[in-house]
């Protein structure tokens, strides 16, 4: 729930406005983590912040760049080490049945492990993950969980990613179902796939991992003989990090995450360090942020279910379809003919990738080239197009007013979507966040237009 409305760091947080969120679930988690060797050296505690919802602060310590924010023994994380150490979970997977054409990501395997732990903890009093599972949100606010009427009112860029996520998740679910099809829980004797875990459970578990995992260089955590090796496509460099996953993201801080040897040299610990922050020193009771990476809002929204207002790393991306739609809807552009060879050339040379506008830097090179090829030159022979596209870059500066038309077209499109979403009888949490995101995109495009598009010129044309 706390991830719904993350915004930028408010510096004027007063102690009085911060409510502690040390619920029973969090208290149980503290005890569990302490029993696994976590000492909470930096005196972190979970609080409710007006601007961001659930987050972390220290009640005692000031932080300056270079300070450790948190140090956590790897035993507290749910990593490849955890899965490889869990003999009964491993026993569900018969290595002989692994198929090199039907692999899953490590993320999907961790999601399966979460479902497994969920069922375990419903039957046994004290499992390893029970304390953690109780601190997970009941739902997630990525567009993936929008209702069907909401999905129908999302722009192509969002829908495309949501559809791709759905395809991936279903595919992994089917692979797991094939592998574990007949396995039964030894306690209740129910079949995991037909009686206990549903696709809905898997979706929720998948997004628990998607939204809450941290990057961990796993080579120190992986046994030399890894049971799951032949099942996993890609690396195993992620882990769920109980408690630590309460840190919110900010575009204003830089943080580093690394595995370090413990002082006795016997094990490893996960260390998060503050690299830079907007103020010299972060005071007690101020929310502590980490950086999930230099990510634009579209990525934050589709992967984590939130976005930042005036995100320093934001940009707005266009597709070739946007330009085709623009041509269809713009009276002036619509009167001309555009040879399909030009569009084919653009696709064949991937010029339609990286077509974006950035508030600070203006229009991307590829967007300029594409607008120039379509609107500013007459040829459709591939060899001539080639000379133009990969020739002198200066001649691509002439793409006004088409760039302005494109921005205006997009603003109208998003205005339509936000208005239509507001007309729905009710919005889900995902729908509310998605609609706010569209409004933020409109704010971004308007600011871009004011800074980079010569409005006078387009007005008079």
Binding residues for Zn ion, rule: CB under 5 A, are 185, 187-188
Considering the complex, what minimum distance in angstroms separates the CB of residue 192 from Zn ion?
9
Q: Is the peptide bond before 401 cis (omega within 30 degrees of 0)?
A: yes
Q: In what order do the strands lie in the sheet with 268-276?
A: 68-73, 268-276, 254-261
Taking the least distance from each CB to Zn ion, the nearer of 202 and 444 is 202
Task: Decide if 52 contacts 106 (C-beta within 8 A).
Answer: no
Distance from C-alpha of 279 to C-alpha of 413, rounded to nearest angstrom: 39
Considering the complex, what minimum distance in angstroms separates the CB of residue 90 from Zn ion?
17
Task: Decide if 276 contacts 111 (C-beta within 8 A).
Answer: no
Considering the complex, what minimum distance in angstroms separates the CB of residue 221 from Zn ion?
28
Q: What 3-state class would DSSP assign to 49?
A: strand
Considering the complex, what minimum distance in angstroms separates the CB of residue 120 from Zn ion?
8
Considering the complex, what minimum distance in angstroms separates the CB of residue 107 from Zn ion?
24
Considering the complex, what minimum distance in angstroms separates the CB of residue 343 from Zn ion?
56
* CA 131 distance to own-chain centroid: 25
Distance from C-alpha of 258 to C-alpha of 216, rounded to nearest angstrom: 7
Taking the least distance from each CB to Zn ion, the nearer of 42 and 121 is 121
Considering the complex, what minimum distance in angstroms separates the CB of residue 123 from Zn ion?
5
Torsion of CA 179, 204, 237, 167, to 10 degrees: 60
CA distances (Å), 24 to each of 21, 57, 140, in order?
9, 18, 21
Taking the least distance from each CB to Zn ion, the nearer of 188 and 393 is 188
Considering the complex, what minimum distance in angstroms separates the CB of residue 189 from Zn ion?
7
Task: Decide if 173 contacts 199 (C-beta within 8 A).
Answer: yes
Question: Per the structure block, which two tokens stand in for 343?
Answer: 């569009």
Taking the least distance from each CB to Zn ion, the nearer of 185 and 230 is 185
Strands (E), 213-365: 213-215, 238-240, 248-249, 254-261, 268-276, 287-290, 316-317, 356-358, 362-363
Site of tokens 């290595």: 95
CA distances (Å), 11 to each of 250, 286, 409, 452, in order?
13, 7, 37, 31
Taking the least distance from each CB to Zn ion, the nearer of 79 and 118 is 118
Distance from C-alpha of 288 to C-alpha of 273, rounded to nearest angstrom: 11
Question: Per the structure block, which two tokens stand in for 248?
Answer: 């919110």
Task: Decide if 297 contacts 307 (C-beta within 8 A).
Answer: yes
Taking the least distance from each CB to Zn ion, the nearer of 117 and 142 is 117
Considering the complex, what minimum distance in angstroms separates the CB of residue 33 from Zn ion?
26
Taking the least distance from each CB to Zn ion, the nearer of 64 and 91 is 91
Considering the complex, what minimum distance in angstroms separates the CB of residue 82 from Zn ion?
20
Distance from C-alpha of 438 to C-alpha of 158, rounded to nearest angstrom: 10
- In this structure, is the dihedral angle defined by the CA atoms of residues 272, 273, 276 and 277, taken in order, positive or negative? positive
Q: What 3-state class would DSSP assign to 337?
A: coil
Taking the least distance from each CB to Zn ion, the nearer of 41 and 195 is 195
Q: What 3-state class would DSSP assign to 291?
A: coil
Considering the complex, what minimum distance in angstroms separates the CB of residue 185 from Zn ion?
3
Reference 62, options 47, 42, 40; nearest CA is 42
Taking the least distance from each CB to Zn ion, the nearer of 120 and 402 is 120
Taking the least distance from each CB to Zn ion, the nearer of 188 and 384 is 188
Taking the least distance from each CB to Zn ion, the nearer of 185 and 420 is 185
């Amino acid at each position: 729930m706390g991830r719904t409305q993350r915004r930028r760091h408010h510096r004027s947080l007063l102690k009085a406005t911060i409510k502690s969120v040390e619920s029973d679930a969090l208290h149980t988690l503290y005890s569990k983590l302490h029993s696994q060797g976590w000492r909470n050296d930096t005196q972190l505690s979970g609080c409710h912040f007006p601007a961001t919802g659930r987050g972390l602060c220290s009640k005692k310590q000031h932080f300056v760049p270079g300070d450790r924010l948190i140090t956590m023994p790897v035993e507290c994380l749910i990593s490849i080490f955890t899965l490889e150490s869990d003999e009964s979970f491993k026993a569900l997977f018969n290595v002989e049945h692994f198929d090199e054409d039907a692999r899953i990501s490590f993320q999907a395997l961790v999601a399966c492990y979460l479902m497994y732990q969920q069922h375990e903890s419903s039957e046994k009093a004290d499992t390893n993950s029970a304390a953690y599972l109780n601190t997970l949100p009941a739902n997630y606010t990525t567009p993936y969980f929008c209702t069907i009427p909401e999905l129908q009112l999302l722009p192509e860029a969002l829908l495309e990613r949501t559809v791709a996520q759905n395809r991936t998740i279903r595919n992994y679910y089917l692979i797991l179902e094939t592998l574990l099809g007949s396995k039964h829980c030894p306690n209740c004797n129910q079949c995991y796939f037909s009686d206990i875990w549903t696709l809905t459970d898997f979706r929720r578990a998948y997004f628990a991992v998607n939204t809450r995992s941290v990057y961990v260089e796993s080579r120190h955590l992986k046994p030399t003989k890894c049971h799951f090796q032949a099942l996993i496509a890609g690396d195993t460099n992620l882990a769920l990090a109980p408690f630590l996953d309460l840190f919110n993201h900010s575009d204003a801080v830089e943080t580093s995450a690394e595995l370090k040897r413990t002082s006795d040299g016997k094990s490893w610990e996960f260390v998060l360090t503050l690299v830079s922050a907007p103020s010299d020193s972060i005071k007690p009771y101020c929310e502590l942020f980490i950086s999930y990476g230099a990510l634009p809002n579209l990525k934050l929204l589709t992967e984590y279910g939130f976005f930042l207002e005036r995100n320093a790393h934001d940009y707005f991306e266009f597709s070739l379809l946007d330009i085709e739609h623009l041509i269809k809807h713009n009276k002036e552009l619509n009167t001309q003919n555009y040879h399909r060879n030009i569009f084919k050339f653009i696709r064949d040379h991937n010029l339609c990738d990286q077509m974006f506008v950035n508030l600070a830097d203006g229009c991307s090179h590829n967007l300029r080239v594409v607008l120039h090829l379509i609107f500013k030159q007459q040829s459709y022979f591939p060899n001539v197009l080639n000379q133009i596209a990969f020739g002198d870059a200066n001649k691509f500066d002439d793409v006004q007013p088409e760039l302005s038309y494109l921005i205006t077209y997009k603003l109208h499109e998003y205005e339509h979507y936000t208005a239509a979403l507001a007309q729905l009888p009710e919005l889900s949490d995902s729908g509310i966040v998605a609609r706010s995101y569209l409004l933020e995109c409109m704010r971004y495009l308007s600011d871009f237009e004011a800074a980079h598009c010569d409005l006078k010129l387009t007005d008079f044309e």
